[in-house]
Amino acid sequence: MMNISSNSVDPFSAKGSGEPTEIKARNTAVLVVDMENDFCVEGGAMVLPGYEKLIGPQLRVIDAARAAGAPIVFITDAHRPGVHRDREFLKRARHCIEGTWGARVVDALKARSDDHYVIKRRYSGFFGTDLDMTLKDLEIDGVVVMGVVTNICVRSTVHDAFFLGYRVFVPEDCVAAPSEREQTSSLFDIATCFGWVTDSNEVARAYATGSLINNRFEFA
């Protein structure tokens, strides 16, 4: 669990605001990023080991959000077959081809037909998609972002959400990176510059009771 005191960081990063904030249940959506077979399930094209540890905490958040009447948005990577210059494939192995098993949301998350679905072709869930318009139509001004991987698609989505004016919450036990280094670095940057890093229990409690969310990073 990340809980870094201001005494352990540089003076620049420590100059932030540690004020807690609230999750307004009906105005805070849950964004589930790239929890797909190709990234999570044995036999997938680019599996992140240990994804199963995320399922319980993610379901805790999803169930609490559903009970509070908040929307769940599954953001799925899906690349068109036959595209010759897909930018992600210049850097990463081919994955999540549209219409294949690999591009489906993992069964364990129990996605429903009345959830919302957004297809993305790049790392960020906002880039070149209608996610921002969908959230605005739903009268959303805050997002809980969870999924894989922390330092790529989760982080890119968090950045764009912040740039577009959303309050951003990231439960640390609901996201995973390829190593502890990438996990800690990304969560540190999110906590200091882009949003609130918390955990699934605090998010679930906030959806249920309106309790405040405190950042894992303690500012000076």
153 is catalytic: yes
63 is catalytic: no
Strand, coil or helix: what is 16? Answer: coil
114 is catalytic: no
Residues making up the chain, counted from first to last? 220
Give the whole-angstrom CA distance, residue 87 versus residue 163: 22
Give the whole-angstrom CA distance, residue 54 versus residue 7: 30
The C-alpha torsion from 83 through 86 and 88 to 92, rounded to 10°, is 50
Closest CA to 34 of 86, 83, 101, 104: 104
Q: Which of 38, 153, 189, 199 is catalytic?
A: 153
- Burial class of residue 123 in the structure, from the number of CB atoms within 10 Å of its CB (0-12 exposed, 13-18 middle, 19+ buried): buried
Give the whole-angstrom CA distance, residue 60 versus residue 48: 21
Q: Which of 40, 96, 120, 174 is catalytic?
A: 120
Closest CA to 57 of 194, 208, 170: 170
Give the whole-angstrom CA distance, residue 70 versus residue 140: 9
Any idea which residues carry the catalytic annotation?
34, 120, 153
